[in-house]
Amino acid sequence: MIRRHPLAEQAAEELLRRIGSGEWALGAKLPGETTLAAQLGVGRSTIREAVRELAGRRVLESRQGAGVFVIALQAAEDWDKVLRKADITDVLEGRLAIETEGARLAATRRTPADLKNFRYTLADRRRAAVKAPDDWYIEADLAFHRAVVTAAHNAVLTELFDTFVPRIRRAMIDMLKLDEEHRHRHDQAAHEAIADAIRAKDPDLAAARSREHLSAVRSSMN
Amino acid sequence: MIRRHPLAEQAAEELLRRIGSGEWALGAKLPGETTLAAQLGVGRSTIREAVRELAGRRVLESRQGAGVFVIALQAAEDWDKVLRKADITDVLEGRLAIETEGARLAATRRTPADLKNFRYTLADRRRAAVKAPDDWYIEADLAFHRAVVTAAHNAVLTELFDTFVPRIRRAMIDMLKLDEEHRHRHDQAAHEAIADAIRAKDPDLAAARSREHLSAVRSSMN
DNA sequence: GTTGTCAGCTTGTCTGAGGAGTTGATACGG
DNA sequence: CCGTATCAACTCCTCAGACAAGCTGACAAC
């Protein structure tokens, strides 16, 4: 018999399926380990590992002496996975939403430290656009965009941006590989313009310039 | 001896700490189970459960016969946790970013089915605003907002919105509990206005009205 | 050089034995 | 009647040992 996955993982999937099917409601107590083991036809330690895996995914919670309880009806969305599977267009539109709002807020909240950060990251990007290898250029570009979002001083927006970064990075790598002319290396002016608007404390202008730039990026990746 | 957490969880935390400290790089192979058990002074099955938990969190991956490998340097951000801990102001600004962009895109992509969805959810909300209990009203309100984002036909934006919903719901419950006059029940007009702009295929107007409404919501929750 | 074999490692699974914590029923004192 | 104490039965937690299953690199044969 060939088994693609270990028994413990199969058991975890089966438990997840039963939870999803409504067999056990939110907050309900699962049968004991020995009972479950008998039901699924596996050993007790296998059940324990399955439960432990779902505990790691924040679906189950076991309390010594009391039992195992359902604390979520399904596994929390794994954002890395969602972004990996999504169309790059959808991802870039999500990024646009986060970053234009970030630019808008940054225009009212930016500190002197944020402006200094803009200077550094823009200078880096300018240098990298000319002579650095692709990955340096990509990191320099992302660093500036991150500086903009950071200047919004909103923890949720920053965390959202960081969640998107790996997916965006991969897309940029793929694009630069296909596009020998590195056409995107020439839009330094657009980046300077965004920074200028934030520096000038003009929220609408900052948002507009950010939107303009990111729309162009999205279009170029189709 | 009093133990706050099970040994297996403590072992998982210890492994996570060591990974974070750079003891094992990305892709590196951990010592064998028996070795780890001896190092941490616990039984082999305890180590196995710790590894299984981190496998559930997509940090480790074990391959039979080969070993246990690091596949992520830290646990993926648990968005429920991030949103729970964040200031409600930051959360609502994130929601505003997502939803205004959603409204903008919806104005160009909405289908007849989306418009029908608007009619239904708006009617529900109108009824609930007058006489329904708090939780019905909250669900009706969220249903309309979700309909707007859905009409953008962008899987990432929809998923983002759904991630925010539980946190927003809790905030609304708390607010309605404290505010006997239910002041927010009277802004049905603002919702109709958003739907009208999307119906009229006016992206800028839809975004502006969405922003206006959500700014008001954010201000009222301070 | 290429291929086949295999010994020695690894993780996977089961079982049995206690330890430790929780819960609800029951008896007791007020 | 109510509050409290006790306790038995249940639960999960941890360990140890045994064997199965799978991978890897060394080494011999060709």
Residues in B lying within 8 Å of A, measured between beta carbons: 6, 8, 12, 45, 48-49, 52-58, 64, 76-80, 82-83, 86-87, 90-91, 93-94, 96-98, 100-102, 105, 152, 154-157, 159-160, 162-163
pLDDT in tens, A95-153: 999 999 999 999 999 999 999 999 999 999 999 988 778 888 999 999 999 999 999 99
Q: DSSP secondary-structure letter at B200?
A: T
Q: How far is the CA of A7 from the C1' of C4 (A)?
A: 32
pLDDT at A184: 61
Q: How confident is the model at residue B134 (pLDDT cuts 50, 70, 90)?
A: confident
For the cut 90, the answer to whether the pLDDT of residue A176 exceeds it is no
Single-letter residue type at B64? Q
For the cut 80, the answer to whether the pLDDT of residue B177 exceeds it is no
For the cut 60, the answer to whether the pLDDT of residue A183 exceeds it is no
Q: How confident is the model at residue B221 (pLDDT cuts 50, 70, 90)?
A: confident
For the cut 50, the answer to whether the pLDDT of residue B198 exceeds it is yes
State residue B174 phi and psi, 5-degree precision.
-60, -40
* Spatial separation of the C-alpha atoms in residues B188 and B198, rounded to whole Å: 16
* Spatial separation of the C-alpha atoms in residues B164 and B161, rounded to whole Å: 5
pLDDT: which is higher, A92 or B178 = A92
* Spatial separation of the C-alpha atoms in residues A164 and B77, rounded to whole Å: 12
Give chain D positions with protein CB within 7 A: 10-17, 21-24
Q: Residue B7, CB half-sphere, CA atoms under 13 Å: how many?
A: 11
ipTM: 0.75
Q: Which of A151, A145, A141, A158 is nearest to A199 (CA)?
A: A151
Q: How far is the CA of A11 from the C1' of D9 (A)?
A: 28
Domain A79-220 is in which class?
mainly alpha
Domain ranges of chain A: 7-70, 79-220
Q: How confident is the model at residue B135 (pLDDT cuts 50, 70, 90)?
A: confident
Q: Is the shortest CB-to-strand distance from A33 to strand D under 7 Å?
A: yes
Task: Quote the strand ranges of chain A, DSSP E.
Answer: 60-63, 67-70
Q: How confident is the model at residue B176 (pLDDT cuts 50, 70, 90)?
A: confident
| C-beta atoms surrounding B115 within 10 Å | 15
pLDDT in tens, B99-124: 999 999 999 999 999 999 999 999 99
Quick one: average pLDDT of A5-24? 93
| C-beta atoms surrounding B23 within 10 Å | 12
Residues across chain B: 222
Quick one: average pLDDT of B11-26? 94
β-pair partners for B67 = B63
Q: What is the pTM of this model?
A: 0.79
User: B133: burial class by Cβ within 10 Å (0-12, 13-18, 19+)?
Assistant: exposed
Has domain B7-70 been given CATH number 1.10.10.10? Answer: yes
Q: How confident is the model at residue B31 (pLDDT cuts 50, 70, 90)?
A: very high
Quick one: average pLDDT of A181-201? 86
**Distance from the first to the final alpha carbon of chain A:** 45
Residue numbers in A near B152 (CB within 8 A): 93
For the cut 90, the answer to whether the pLDDT of residue B205 exceeds it is yes
CA distances from A208 to A93, A202, A211, A214 (A): 15, 10, 5, 10
pLDDT in tens, A32-74: 999 999 999 999 999 999 999 999 999 999 999 999 999 998 8
Query: Tokens 């991030």 correspond to what residue?
Result: B82
| C-beta atoms surrounding A73 within 10 Å | 13
* Spatial separation of the C-alpha atoms in residues A182 and A173, rounded to whole Å: 11
The DSSP code sequence of B104-168 is HHHHHH--HHHHHHHHHHHHHHHHHHHHS-HHHHHHHHHHHHHHHHHTT--HHHHHHHHHHHHHH
User: CB-CB: which of B57, B78, B159 is closest to A82?
Assistant: B159
Of the ranges A28-32, A124-128, B135-139, B197-201, which is most confident?
B197-201
pLDDT at B81: 84
Mean pLDDT of chain B, nearest integer: 92
